[in-house]
Amino acid sequence: MADKNLTLMEEFILLGFSELPYFQGFLFVIFLVIYVSILLGNGLIIVITNMEPALQIPMYYFLGNFSFVEICYTSVTLPRMLMNLWRQKRNISLLSCAVQLCFFLILTSTESFLLTGMAYDRYVAICKPLSYPLIMNHKMCVQMVIGSWVIGIPVLIGQTYQFFSVPFCGSNKLNHVFCDMPPPMKLACGDTSGDEYFIYIDCFLFGMIPFLLILFSYIRILSTILKLPSTTGRSKAFSTCSSHLIVVCLFHGSGSIAYLQSKSSYSGTTDKIFSLLYIIVTPMVTPTTYSLRNKDFIESMRKLFSKYIG
């Protein structure tokens, strides 16, 4: 019977915001504006960090790569969400769902490790300033970025393949806005404790370990900052690190709540809210928290605009 259901079920239906039928147009406009702002804001960071010589330092190299991941990250989910809101056609094939989930997990892992790399960069800059040019050379930065991209690919591709190899029974409706891991698991036949176990392993490897490394880095950073004799130096160091911590807390906090639910306690409404936090809010606030509060970046942006527009 399970095999028969697996053969017949060729697609899922993403319910999205179907419980709000009269707000579909409004939600489409809101999410379209958010998506465009994410593309423009993070695209501006990529352009300026690559074109402005004053920003050719490791911190902005990581920031440019992080903004690129943010664009890819939202582009995996938001365009499909917008299409569903516009066309009111919410079906998605099992293959498309698997591909979306796989790219989403890989980009989530990449973002997590990039945040760790950015924390390490700040740790070296503040705690070991004399060794900073030697440790954070260009080769080291490139290796860290490439490592952030590739470290999770084999595991996450294998897990996605294994997950979509199980039979799905009963309803094919996913109470979610995109193909995330928890909603299809609720429809899987038989015992899914093994899949839940692998989710916890993924959360530990690609979420908890990077978060603990970031936490350790900032404990050392805070200890060093408090020892600085200059109030101005402490203020500048706190300002530089606070932007990164805001994004870390948003990303890891919302992601942990969404993923560390068991199948029995899964709530579609709660999961949709927290999913929107880490697929929309985090990429949207990145340009503001990292760049628009940064005097060097604002000055570089002003010079670039005056050169090509003024």
pTM as predicted: 0.86
Question: Please, what is the angle between helix 138-150 and helix 58-87, to 10°?
Answer: 30
Q: Is the model's pLDDT at 39 over the cut of 60? A: yes
What stretches of the chain show up as alpha helix (H) in DSSP?
2-8, 24-51, 58-87, 94-127, 132-135, 138-150, 153-163, 182-187, 193-203, 209-226, 231-259, 268-276, 282-286, 295-308
Backbone Cα Rg of the chain: 21
Q: Which domain holds residue 240?
A: 2-299
Q: How many domains does the chain have?
A: 1
The answer to whether residue 188 is domain-embedded is yes
Sign of CA pseudo-dihedral 248, 180, 42, 277? negative
Sign of CA pseudo-dihedral 34, 251, 186, 189? positive
The answer to whether residue 50 is domain-embedded is yes
Q: What are the tens digits of pLDDT across the range 226-281?
A: 877 766 666 666 666 777 777 888 787 777 766 665 445 555 566 777 778 778 88
The answer to whether residue 153 is domain-embedded is yes
Q: What are the tens digits of pLDDT across the range 88-145?
A: 778 888 889 999 999 999 999 999 999 999 999 989 988 898 999 999 999 999 999 9
What CATH number corresponds to the domain at position 129?
1.20.1070.10
The answer to whether residue 150 is domain-embedded is yes
Q: What are the tens digits of pLDDT across the range 157-203?
A: 988 888 888 777 777 888 888 888 877 877 777 666 666 777 778 77
The answer to whether residue 305 is domain-embedded is no
The answer to whether residue 283 is domain-embedded is yes
DSSP letters, 85-139, are: HHH---EEEHHHHHHHHHHHHHHHHHHHHHHHHHHHHHHHHHH-GGGHHHHT-HH
Q: Which amino acid is at 59?
A: M
pLDDT of residue 268: 59
The answer to whether residue 279 is domain-embedded is yes
Report the relative pairing of strands 11-14 and 173-174 from DSSP bridges: parallel
The answer to whether residue 306 is domain-embedded is no
